Chain A
Amino acid sequence: MIGRHRHLIALEGLSREEILQVLDLAVSMKEVLSRPVKKVPSLRGKNVVNLFFETSTRTRSSFEIAAKVLSADSLNWTAAQSSTTKGETLLDTAKNLEAMRPDVLVVRHSASGAPNFLARHVGCSVVSAGDGAHEHPSQGLLDCFTLRERFGSLEGRTVAIVGDISHSRVARSDLHSLPKLGAKVRLCGPPTMIPQGIERLGATVHHDLRTAVEGVDAVIMLRIQHERIGDPLIPNTREYSKFWGLNARKAADWLKEDAVILHPGPINRGVELSSDVADGPRSVILDQVQNGVAVRMAILYLLAGGAGDDRAEKVSA
């Protein structure tokens, strides 16, 4: 359980304390990852099924490693190999998987709300690995973890999220978590990529990159998906890159000395982020990947572990 929750579908309903419960446990999990023998028996005999209806390398591998380090058995079920192409419904797929008695179902789906639907109809815990443009809770948590690791506390910090906010589940999960830890959030992108009413989630909206990133402690750059071009949200990547992309010169001129750059990956080098920034000293992009494993270990542990309050100690012992 994460606080009161048996599932992790969205950060919207999570309290500050529940978010901190995961982040604090993830600190111990990260320590496990630094050991020469990266294996603890915490989830021995537990089954984690990764049910991916959308292609993913990073997130799926991250959940898979997280399960393995905790000694859980994990199974990857991808849509390409499943019956969905033969017309099986999501519910039937889920019911079939459930009959195999998993403890946790990690699901990624292109339809917003698909994990909510599954959680209503299966008995095991459901973890969203991203659904449509709704949420990507483990990504939101790993962003929080990475920033907390860097700055100690997020109290009074400011984070800018730049890119296609309207299609971004990462932006929504960040928006539902960073402010709970005390950070202010600015959103930036062309007006076609800023969804209606997003400011009601407590962010300020900017269309000018310079004013958006001025004085911030971190910038989360979002991937520009090629299918959005001609959607028609933007004319082309050239113009996008010129006005909303970040390169070393803009970073040096506009960003605070200690401001860091995050990106959920995979990067479109030369579009939203130039290589000199992605690989430069401000980049914490690879820390995010490593922290992702630790955060997902914490999530799986809390939902499948069922141990008492001393669980963090048990893992680190």
Chain B
Amino acid sequence: MSNPKDVIVIQGGRVIDPASGIDGIRTVLLREGKVAAVAERVDVPAGARVVDARGRWVTPGFIDLHVHLREPGQEYKESVATGTRAAVAGGFTAVCAMPNTVPANDNTSVTELMLARAAAAGLARVYPIGAVTKGRKGEELAEYGELKAAGCVALSDDGSPVMSSALMRRALEYSRAFGLPIAVHEEDLHLVGKGVMNEGAAATRLGLKGVPAQAEDVMVLRDLSLLELTGGRLHLCHVSTAGSVRALREARRRGLPVTAEVTPHHLALTDEDVARSDYDPDFKMNPPLRTAEDVKALQEGLADGTIDAIATDHAPHSPEEKKLEFDAALNGVLGLETAFPVCLDLVRQGLLTERRLVEALTVGAARCFGLPGGTLAVGSPADVAVLDPTLAWVVDPMRGFSKSRNTPWKGRTLTGRCTHAFVGGRLVHEAGVAP
């Protein structure tokens, strides 16, 4: 890989940088790990590496607010190295690592380990997310101050929602001392019961136990209500229901400090796809795929800015955990390598503008957690994605960079792919070139 002191010139591409309002053919100059220039004409310095980006998009490197890197503890599914390799292959130059590791990231030693592994891998930037409660058990607050000092950018108990309203209230209050957002996986576990997919006509036909949309809605409403009492910053992870979008829109209208993300799979697939898949656990995730009406509400919410960011909820699992009865298989799907083409399809369908798509993958995400990057403004870190929006490719899970293969897009032809990714001015991914 190249030296960070190298000069890189990305020529002739369509630069889409919503943060600085640029959308047009520009040349981008990267020098000493920073964006040095974005202009219609840039003189190529001697010895510079030139990337021909004609016909391609040049955007800030994508930022994923929701990734499961599985290290420490579940390295058979993924590691920081393989997860960040998959990230850069998908155009993501920064990922937020969820704390449901083993042990949980509820203390600085786990945070430090994640950061050390990320530095050793030298691929995407990793921003750890600390736990809201010790061991993610929903009983006692974790040490937010220490977690922040060690490098955590947000707090979350992710898949284990804090069911106690009293504890959630205190978490929101206490987090204010450190300015850390609390990212919530909204799910009333009593309403979920043993449900494995969205409750509705598809689940009824399949005979699978359903999870009503209200399992998410009631928790979103609870936390928005608590937020009025406590202040603090709330971030809704992977919203999946029309009810969540409605509540969010209303809360934002009233100026509550809440942000939200949505996943590519919730934007593109419905519970009818579970039926069409014939009980394929690669269509099983949490929250589950919802109805066409929910998908429409999510697309609209993303388009009008009610939802800030696209996040993948990249959740690798081994075949032993997925090649099972639907009921027995674990929740979760891969997302990093397929997010861009899946979401680009919404643009092709006229549901999303190109600018809004890039915004949700870059600066929209960065703002949720107050992260650096997400822009090509001169002086910013040289985190850049070069994307071919017309390149069609067949998803072959055996050829992905993740350790795992659990993708609902397997065998599908997707259009759009990252061809180059730069982190701090270093080329960390080039399509078709072995790492």
Binding site for B on A (CB under 8 A): 12, 89-91, 109-114, 116-117, 120, 131-135, 166, 169, 172, 195-198, 200-201
Contacts and interface: CB of A to CB of B under 8 A. Distances in A.
Contacts of B327: 110-113, 132
Given A133-B209, A197-B201, 4 more contacts: A112-B208, A197-B200, A197-B203, A200-B201
A109 to B, nearest CB: 7
A166 B203 CA distance: 10
A282 B207 CA distance: 31
A117 B284 CA distance: 14
B204 A198 contact: yes
6 contacts: A90-B324, A90-B325, A111-B325, A111-B327, A133-B209, A196-B212
Interface centre among B203, B207, B328, by most A CB within 10 Å?
Answer: B207
Given A116-B279, A197-B201, A133 B324 contact: no
Interface string B177-217: 00000000000000000000001111111111110100000
A196 B212 CA distance: 10
A112 B207 contact: yes
Interface of B: 199-210, 212, 278-279, 320, 323-328
Contacts of B320: 89
Contacts of B323: 89, 91
Contact of B278 (A120, A131, A195): A120
Contacts of B209: 133
Given A111-B328, A113-B278, A114-B325, A133 B207 contact: yes
Nearest to A136: B207
B204 A113 contact: no
A195 B278 CA distance: 20
A197 B208 contact: no
Contacts of A196: 199-201, 203-204, 210, 212
B201 to A, nearest CB: 3
A117 B205 contact: no
B201 A112 contact: no
B229 to A, nearest CB: 32
A91 B320 CA distance: 10
Contacts of A117: 279, 324-326
A200 B324 CA distance: 29
Given A112-B279, A116-B278, A120-B278, A197 B204 contact: yes
A110 B385 CA distance: 47
Contact of B206 (A109, A113, A198): A113
Given A120-B278, A131-B207, A133-B207, A113 B325 contact: yes
Nearest to A12: B205
Contacts of B205: 12, 172, 197, 201
A12 B207 CA distance: 12
A200 B205 CA distance: 9
A132 B279 CA distance: 13
Interface centre among B208, B320, B325, B326, by most A CB within 10 Å?
Answer: B325
Contact of B207 (A89, A169, A200): A169
Given A12-B205, A91-B323, A113 B200 contact: no
Nearest to B291: A197
B26 to A, nearest CB: 50
Contacts of A198: 201, 204
Contacts of B200: 196-197
B293 to A, nearest CB: 13
A169 B206 CA distance: 10
Nearest to B326: A113
The 4 nearest A-B residue pairs measured at CB: A197-B201, A113-B279, A134-B207, A133-B207
Interface centre among A131, A133, A135, A196, by most B CB within 10 Å?
Answer: A196
Contacts of A135: 207
Contacts of B279: 112-113, 116-117
A89 B320 CA distance: 9
A135 B326 CA distance: 15
A170 B106 CA distance: 48
Contacts of A111: 325-328
A113 to B, nearest CB: 3
B314 to A, nearest CB: 25
Contacts of B199: 196
Interface centre among B212, B320, B326, by most A CB within 10 Å?
Answer: B326
Contacts of A131: 207
A113 B208 contact: yes
A132 B203 contact: no
Nearest to A175: B205
A58 B324 CA distance: 27
Given A117-B279, A196-B199, A112 B206 contact: yes
Nearest to B202: A197
Contact of B326 (A12, A112, A166): A112
A110 B208 CA distance: 11
Contacts of B212: 196
A134 B204 contact: no
A214 B208 CA distance: 31
A122 B323 CA distance: 14
Contacts of B202: 197
B414 to A, nearest CB: 23
